[in-house]
């Protein structure tokens, strides 16, 4: 029985033209590339401040940076500074099989943190007690510089009861 030649998946040509991947392994961690609308966020993190956007019309807070508010469909957004405190909504611990550039960080914690102000963001839990994380754990923002860039990343540490 003759088999028919397989057809390429829809969009294969566009994917192969515009989404080429390097075959060489990455030696460093990938870093965010600030855009025109996220630049104020990254400038604030460089100053060790955590900021979110606020819709001027609805008063709702937004996280991740956007051009248009999903609440009012306007571009009238302002940046406000957050307390940097929050609660772990969910998390996972990466113990093996880390992507290239993250091998030295194993095991590491990826979490969604709900800020006291309301918005949620995906981040890492860092610090010596990071593996003690649980849903509902109280966390505080900390900032980690990068070796190869001016980018400063917001991370979170567990807050210990005193």
Which tokens sit at 108?
A: 């590491």
Q: Is the pLDDT of residue 11 over 50?
A: no
The predicted structure's pLDDT at residue 17: 39
Q: Which domain holds residue 138?
A: 39-158
Asked if the structure places residue 15 within a domain, the reply is no
Asked if the structure places residue 116 within a domain, the reply is yes
Total number of domains in the chain: 1
Nearest CA-CA partner of 111 in 85, 96, 130, 83: 130
Asked if the structure places residue 58 within a domain, the reply is yes
Asked if the structure places residue 26 within a domain, the reply is no
Report the share of the chain in percent with pLDDT over 90. Answer: 62
Which tokens sit at 105?
A: 């960080």
Asked if the structure places residue 30 within a domain, the reply is no
- Phi and psi at residue 13, to the nearest 5°: -65, -45
Asked if the structure places residue 14 within a domain, the reply is no
Q: What is the CATH number of the domain that holds 77?
A: 2.40.50.840
Asked if the structure places residue 6 within a domain, the reply is no
Give residues with Cβ within 8 angstroms of 37, minimum separation 6.
Answer: 65, 66, 67
pTM above the 0.95 mark? no
Asked if the structure places residue 70 within a domain, the reply is yes
The beta-strand segments (E) located in 2-151 are 51-55, 61-62, 77-81, 85-94, 108-115, 120-126, 138-145
């Amino acid at each position: 029985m003759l088999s028919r030649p397989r057809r390429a998946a829809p969009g294969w040509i566009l994917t192969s033209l515009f989404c080429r991947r390097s075959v060489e392994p990455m030696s460093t961690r990938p870093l965010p590339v600030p855009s025109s609308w996220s630049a104020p966020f990254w400038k604030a993190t460089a100053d060790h401040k955590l900021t979110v956007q606020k819709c001027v019309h609805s008063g709702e807070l937004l996280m991740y940076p956007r051009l248009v508010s999903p609440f009012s469909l306007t571009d009238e957004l302002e940046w406000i500074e957050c307390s940097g405190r929050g609660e772990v909504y969910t998390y996972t611990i990466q113990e093996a099989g880390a992507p290239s550039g993250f091998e030295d960080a194993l095991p590491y914690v990826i979490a969604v943190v709900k800020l006291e102000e309301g918005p949620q963001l995906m981040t890492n839990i860092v610090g010596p007690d990071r593996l003690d994380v649980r849903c509902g754990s109280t966390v505080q923002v900390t900032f980690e510089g990068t070796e190869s860039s001016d980018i400063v990343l917001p991370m979170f540490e567990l807050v210990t009861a005193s």
